[in-house]
Amino acid sequence: MIELQGVGVTRGEREILSGIDLALAERRIGIIGRNGSGKSTLARLLNGLEAPTRGRVTLDGKAGGKALRRQVGFVFQNPDNQIVYPIVHEDLAFGLKGLRLGAEEVRARIDAVLDRFGISHLRNRLTHELSGGEKQMIALAGVMVMDPRVIVLDEPTTLLDLCNKRRFMEAIRALDQQVVMVSHDLDLLADFDRVLLIAEGGIRADGPPAAVIAEYVAGAKC
């Protein structure tokens, strides 16, 4: 389980997060809040992409850092930050290189993840020619192929059309892994186990989706 104890993040003069204490036990956790409230910063702490300025982020009680990076997959908002190789199957094989698997195992893992997301037809496509939504699916596949224990997703559905969003969320629901997802699309979090509302650098509300989303909507001054 990922835990945050007394976590604060300061960048330059700005205090972005402060006094965050969390134990993330639930299977599916959503993170919501206004633009610039600190959601992505919190998400990046969860897989060690960012280090806290104060406090500790731990995985199963052990200091984060390397363990978090190894066991927590991260799906970026912009898939171009994640896709590095020119052909889809090469890109999916990239992360697997460090695991020293045989060629057959690599192929089997890639085929399985493409099949699971209904995107086997993209296997041999040039990554730079993919549409935004196709890239977003490949970015998710690139994380899933590594079989992480926890998957953190930062607004992963922004480029997806209706059908792909449905397919994407079905895939998320079917995962055995724990999922932590930042989203402005509140409907997507309705059946999650827990939602965190971030405001003014802290956790403003924390609980079942309906109550937390209602608090967020009621407090929105546009």
* Least Å from the CB of residue 37 to ligand ATP: 4
Number of residues that bind ligand ATP (CB under 6 A): 12
3-state secondary structure of 106: helix
The two structure tokens encoding residue 72? 């927590």
Q: Encode 73-99: b = buried (16+ Cβ within 10 Å), e = exposed.
A: bbbbbebeebbeeeebbebbbebbeee
* Least Å from the CB of residue 207 to ligand ATP: 19
Of these, 2, 4, 16, 160, which contacts ligand ATP (CB under 6 A)? 16
Residue closer to ligand ATP, measured from CB, 36 or 102: 36
3-state secondary structure of 42: helix
Residue closer to ligand ATP, measured from CB, 127 or 183: 183
Q: According to CB under 6 A, which residues from 26 to 55 bind ligand ATP?
A: 33, 35-41
Q: Does 159 bind ligand ATP (CB under 6 A)?
A: no
CB 191 within 8 A of CB 40: no
118: left (phi over 0), alpha (psi -120 to 50) or beta: left
Q: Does 71 bind ligand ATP (CB under 6 A)?
A: no
Show Cβ contacts of residue 182 under 8 Å, excluding neighbours closer than 6 positions: 30, 31, 32, 39, 40, 42, 43, 153, 154, 155
Residue closer to ligand ATP, measured from CB, 37 or 136: 37
Residue closer to ligand ATP, measured from CB, 93 or 213: 213
* Least Å from the CB of residue 126 to ligand ATP: 29
